[in-house]
Structure 1
Amino acid sequence: MSKILALDYGASRIGVAVSDLRQTVAFPREPLLNNSVWEKDLDQIIQTEQITKIILGNPLNQQGKPSEQSQIVKTLRDKLERELGVTVELIDERYTTVQARRNFNLAKIPTRRQKGLIDSAAAQIMLQMYLDRNN
């Protein structure tokens, strides 16, 4: 088997999570800064981890309809597939950040420290839901 990567795309940071080889467990990675080199950093992760598929969070609204941000994410999906040669699947990311924040609060992780971790924790939740649904 191969690994799957999940991205929680945001304006300043991009949360990253990677599955194990058996595609049963998701692990958070250091988030990427959304800057001019983030795609190069992503490509390096894809090569190093031997990623064959990317799960990209689609920010639907509360009614499950595409949000304004959804079009940006769809354009990003098309670009990543074209430039990186990896299949990119959109999945519903609603409430993953809320759940990640709740988990951090239960673990008593200070809010200040959560800021740098929350995006990748949301990506981990999203990827784990995907893995559970497909295994």
Structure 2
Amino acid sequence: MMTVLMLRMIIGLRIYLRMKVMAIDFGTKRIGLAFTDPTLSFVSKTLTLKVKSEKDAAQKAAEFVFSEDIHKIILGYPLNDDGTKSEMTLKVEDFKVRLEKLVDVEIEYSDERYTSEEAEKYLHQMGKSIKGNKNRIDAISAALILNDYLRDQRE
């Protein structure tokens, strides 16, 4: 028979073994970031950062990897509608290489087709204008990428 103490230890170990994940919606002017809670149950925080270059974007993302104790990164991978690579796809690949030099965590691509459109629809439903909320679109897109990852992990 399992004691309450043993049960608490097992639950604590399961939570300890979980990891925080960060999703990135990369852009040349801004990057959207979204973070899970430590139990990988939900998106706990989102934000958008202004960046000057791919190098600046990688450095800023790396700072959050360390400050938020991130164990895995999900990087939005922008493909064309037909699944082929775009110019932005190549920039994301370059960004991934830069980021890998700065952090020692797994970086996994996630198809991000239509996340910006979904984020814009969400803002519209909330009665917000798209023009004045570009920052929110990037953060919402990162949250959508992260939600897709979390859903896939549960299946």
TM-score, shorter chain, exceeding 0.5: yes
Specify the alignment match of 1:89 in structure 2: 108
1:1-135, aligned counterparts within 5 Å? Answer: 1-35=18-52, 37-135=56-154
The one-letter amino acid paired with 1:95 is Y
Residues in 1 aligned to 2:29 and 2:58: alpha-carbon distance in whole angstroms: 14
Deviation at 1:30, TM superposition (A): 2.0
Residues in 2 aligned to 1:98 and 1:48: alpha-carbon distance in whole angstroms: 30
Deviation at 1:50, TM superposition (A): 0.6
Higher relative contact order (CA 8 A, sep 6+): 1
Sequence identity percentage: 31
Residues 62 and 102 in structure 2, CA contact (< 8 A), matched pair in contact too:
no
CA deviations over 1:73-94 (Å, ceiling 9, x no partner): 1121122122211211111000
Alignment RMSD: 1.5
Aligned residues: 135
Gaps of 5+ in 1: none
| Structure with higher strand content | 1
Deviation at 1:28, TM superposition (A): 4.3
Task: Give the structure with higher Rg (CA).
Answer: 2
Gaps of 5+ in 2: 1-17
CA deviations over 1:79-122 (Å, ceiling 9, x no partner): 21222112111110000010011011111123344222110100
Residues 101 and 118 in structure 1, CA contact (< 8 A), matched pair in contact too:
yes
